[in-house]
Amino acid sequence: MTFSPRDFSLRAKLVMASVVVEVFMLTILVATNLYVMENQLRSQAQLRLAEVSALLNASLGAPLAERDYGAMDEVLKEVRREQGIPYLILLDRTGKSIASSGWPVGRPPPKLSAGDIFSHDNETERFNTAIPITVAGQNYGRLHFGVSTHFLTEARQTLLLDSLIIASLEVSFSFALLAGLGFWLTRHLATLTQASESVAAGNFNVNLPVKANDEVGLLTAAFNTMAGAIRLRIEALQQAETKQREYLDEARQEHDRFSALLSTMNHGILFVSADDRVLYFNPAFLRIWMIPDNVDLTGRPVEGVMERFTSLLMRPDAFAASLMRAAASREANESFDLQLTDGRTVTQLACPVHDRDRHFIGRMWVYEDITQDRQTAEQLIYLAERDPLTGLSNRHHFRMELERMIVNTEHSTTENGALLMFDVDEFKVVNDTFGHRVGDAILIRIAREVEVLIRRNATFSRLGGDEFALLGFGMDETEASELADQVVRAVARIPFNFDGQNVRLTASVGIALYPQHAATAEELVAHADAAMYQAKESGKNTWRVYRADREASRAMVTRLSWNDRISRALENNLLQLHFQGVYQAASTTLAHVEALVRMIDEDRPDQLIMPAHFIHFSEKNGRIQEIDRWVIRESVALLGRSPSVPPVAVNISGRSFDDPSLPRYISEQLAHYGVAPDRLLVELTETSAVTDLHDAQRFIESLHQTGCKVCLDDFGTGFASFAYLKHLDADILKIDGLFIRDLPRDADNQVFVKAIVDVARGMGKVTVAEFVENAEILAMLQDFGVDYVQGYHLDKPQPHHPAVYAPLAAG
């Protein structure tokens, strides 16, 4: 196992570095001392050599000159013994050894390098030298001798050993001192280390005490600051993470809700990225374009996706052009209709998608299958302009066509027009005798027979009841007379057999020409109606062109008389309200009352004129709207006198649909008398509502905005009542008394009433049954689940109804 410097602690590094430096310095010191000491000893050795050389020269000079070999040996031995010289070799002038001591005989003396006086032999630990032996300046020979340097080695070893001992003691002492000093200096670093490890483990509540103002103290304070900052950052990050998780959860939930919403939408949604690749699509997109559910379009180029359904388009070229326009624009494109080969119509809308910085990030394509909506719109337009019973144009469409004819004729000097109005003679007798269903069948048959006589530039309309109108564009008197004669004969030829009885029907036709007989549309209708009554005065089953001089006939006098009586009744307050209670079917407790208008006979004040006698004339002369407003005003004023007065239902004529200000008038009266809108119920007859469907829809919507509830009266008398019910947002259905009067003995009526109740309940509407004249009928209606009942068995119309006037008397 190897260790690198990074594996040691700071304390160890400090100690080791200090020891290494100290050892290095001591080594240099010892080496220097040895070097200096050796140089000094060498110098001393050289001085000694010089002294010994002089001594030897003096001692051996004379014996050598005299060739006294014995004396020379004695001198050499004496010198060697006294001076501690290892060897001596004396050579004569010729270099021959003549005397020696301590040197083997015959062995040549040590060689000296050229120019050296002496040399050191490390192996023998001695200095080798040679000196000349001279006497009086004359050279007699040469002396080789050596001086031992063993003392130098011993001195050096002694010095080295002493130095190592001292150095070891110094290093040991320094190590201990440095270790102690390092421990004292770095003791807080261990605490910092432990605190750092604690912070790393997640404990951010570390706060170390600052015990000094030195660098370690500053480091400790900085560590505490850092730990506190980290704690705050971690807490902020944790809070941010918590919020991000909450936001992520909310975003996921929002995404799930948004995806669920898009998945349930009928609109096909396709989100495309900026590089035209599919990011998202909902199931409706696949369904509209007949793409299998298991096909994943995500990530595919949008061109490839849209190429999948070009085969379904009637005009792929127009589709491609719309794609190019959308791709070239960063703005929302207008809706573009796509016709499919299977007959469907799909709208396409391209909307750019931008981020919050308004950078373009993609596009959203929206597709909607509007086939059903188009069909419904066309059906609504058809229903708004058609009579539901006969399929002819209704009063609303008739008025529009009449205005168009007037405008076109005014802009032409040669064009004119004709209006033919007719009704079935004595139709009320047939209706009362054989019932509404027979009467409806007669009207349908007449419409079919007369319709085949109509040329292309004419409009055939049913205005209501048994009243019909023929509007001829560019038709002169001759053509109008011929058409009127054909109508009279066509009606007379229709065979009717009811319960074994042959019934012959006739019609009376009145003709008015524009602009010969009238200056306005209202005058034209009035004069055509007058001509029709002129035909009736002529014996019926005939036709007449309007003649002003004939308008004073008996029928005209009668009509003018009723007009005058109605005007005087409105002016002199000769109208009176009677009230009949409407009860909850289950408990027979009073729910509300219905206001019924009566006219006081001014000639016989104790007699009342029923509405069946004057309402028809008031509708003809336009005074019906004044009567409707009088009933509304009196009823609201009565409700305003006491909050204990039960809610009141008022009947509105179908002609009031033409008055768009009536809902505002009702709202003003309610506000004036301080009456809550839900205490006033407005009843409309079904036949008038479906005859003028468009106006009725608008009228009902306005009443709902006011806060009043709407009741559809006489429900079931019209043709295809259920088909029109979804277009008339009434709150209450009042079943026509025709189905109630003989209910226990008429199985067909029972089936029909049950069906009305079931349909009303399914559509969230309330049902009322009128003409409840006995307990048997009431019990059957209770079994059927009818909500409210009204009739003589429970209550009769009366002017001072106790439910109305008792609260007033108590107040």
Most confidently modeled range among 1-10, 383-392, 717-726: 383-392
Contacts of 86 (CB under 8 A, 6+ apart): 80, 102, 124, 126, 146, 147, 148
Amino acid at 764: G
How far is residue 398's CA from residue 404's CA, in Å, rounded to a whole number? 10
| Residue 696 in this model has a pLDDT that exceeds 70 | yes
Instruction: Judge whether 188 lies within some domain.
Output: no
H-helix or E-strand spanning residue 762: helix 747-762
**Mean pLDDT within 627-656:** 90
Pair 676, 752 in one domain: yes
What is the C-alpha to C-alpha distance for residues 709 and 452, in angstroms, rounded to an integer? Answer: 42
Q: Which of residues 121 and 345 earns the better pLDDT score?
A: 345
Same domain, 210 and 276: no
Output the pLDDT for position 9. Answer: 65
pLDDT of residue 511: 94
Task: Specify whether the CB–CB gap between 313 and 319 falls below 8 A.
Answer: yes
Is 70 exceeded by the pLDDT of residue 717?
Answer: no
Residues 156 and 45 in one domain: yes
CA distances from 65 to 61, 62, 184, 503, 614 (A): 6, 5, 82, 203, 196
Q: Assess whether pLDDT exceeds 80 at residue 113.
A: no
In 574-695, the DSSP E strands lie at 575-584, 590-600, 608-609, 648-652, 680-685
Q: What is the mean pLDDT of residues 68-82?
A: 78
Q: Is 780 within the bounds of a domain?
A: yes
Name the DSSP class of 549: G
d(CA 143, CA 511): 184
In this structure, are 511 and 609 located in the same domain?
no
- Tell me the C-alpha distance between 73 and 80, whole Å: 10
The two tokens of residue 698 are 């608008």
- Same domain for 436 and 529? yes
Alpha-carbon Rg for the chain in angstroms? 67
Residue 780 clears pLDDT 60, i.e. is over it: yes
Residue 90 has pLDDT above 60, yes or no: yes
* Judgement on whether residues 531 and 573 belong to the same structural domain of the protein: no
Residue with tokens 């929206």: 366
pTM (2 decimals)? 0.47
What span, in angstroms and rounded, lies between the C-alpha atoms of 594 and 578?
Answer: 8
Is residue 143 within 8 Å of 89, Cβ to Cβ? yes
Whether the CA torsion 751, 756, 759, 760 is positive or negative: it is: negative
Query: Does residue 605 sit in the same domain as residue 728?
Result: yes
Question: Is position 257 within any domain?
Answer: no
pLDDT for 697 beyond 50: yes
Read off the pLDDT band of 552 (50, 70, 90). very low
Instruction: Extract the tokens encoding 118.
Output: 């002496």
pLDDT beyond 70 at 718? no
pLDDT value at residue 553? 47
User: What 3-state DSSP class applies to 468?
Assistant: strand
153 CB burial (10 A radius; 0-12, 13-18, 19+): middle
pLDDT given at position 723: 62
Question: For residue 73, is pLDDT > 70?
Answer: yes
Give which of 647, 604, 656 is closest to 629, Cα–Cα. 656
Q: Kindly report the CATH number assigned to the domain that includes residue 661.
A: 3.20.20.450
Q: Is residue 557 part of a domain?
A: no
Asked if residue 770 belongs to a domain, the reply is: yes
Stretch 457-462: mean pLDDT = 89
Largest alpha-carbon pair distance within the chain?
212
Mean local confidence (pLDDT), 729-744: 89
Domain count, the chain: 5
* Residue 233 vs residue 422, higher pLDDT: 422
Taking a C-beta distance cutoff of 8 angstroms, is the pair 320, 307 a contact?
A: no
Q: What confidence tier does 719 reach under pLDDT thresholds 50, 70, 90?
A: very low
In a domain, 395, yes or no: yes
CA 379 from chain centre, in angstroms, equals 34
| CATH assignment at residue 422 | 3.30.70.270
Lowest mean pLDDT among 61-75, 230-244, 716-730: 716-730
Q: Which domain holds residue 736?
A: 562-810
Give the DSSP letter of residue 5. G
Mean pLDDT of all residues in 715-727 = 65
pLDDT in tens, 364-420: 888 888 888 787 777 777 777 788 888 898 888 898 899 988 888 887 766 789 999
What amino acid occupies position 228? G
Residue 224 has pLDDT above 90, yes or no: no
Instruction: Say what percent of the chain tops pLDDT 90.
Output: 22
Q: Is residue 113 part of a domain?
A: yes
DSSP SS3 for 776: helix
> Is residue 135 situated within a structural domain?
yes
In the beta sheet, which residues pair with residue 769?
735, 789
One domain, residues 588 and 541: no
Boundary residue ending a domain (501, 518, 547): 547
Q: Does one domain contain both 621 and 767? A: yes
Cα(20)–Cα(700) distance, rounded to whole angstroms?
Answer: 108
Task: Examine the pLDDT at 285 and tell me if it is beyond 90.
Answer: no
The answer on pLDDT for 592 being more than 80 is yes
Which of these ranges, 2-11, 505-514, 713-722, has the smallest mean pLDDT?
2-11
pLDDT, greater one: 796 or 125: 796
* Domain match, 567 and 535 both: no
Residues 396 and 325 in one domain: no
Query: In this structure, what are the phi and psi dihedrals at residue 442, rounded to the nearest 5 degrees?
Result: -65, -45
Q: CB neighbours of 331 closer than 8 A, spacing ≥ 6?
A: 352
Helix then strand then coil, in percent of the chain rounded to 5, is: 55, 20, 25
Task: Note the pLDDT of residue 207.
Answer: 74
CATH of the domain at 83: 3.30.450.20
Question: pLDDT at residue 792 above 70?
Answer: yes
Report the length, in residues, of the chain. Answer: 811
Backbone torsions φ then ψ of 356, nearest 5 degrees: -65, -20
Quick one: 212 and 67 in the same domain? no
Task: Tell me which of 96-105, 201-210, 339-348, 747-756 is least confident.
Answer: 201-210
What pLDDT does 422 receive?
Answer: 94
State the average pLDDT over residues 126-138. Answer: 81
Determine what percent of the chain is predicted with pLDDT higher than 70: 87
Instruction: Point out the domain boundary residue: 167, 187, 222.
Output: 167
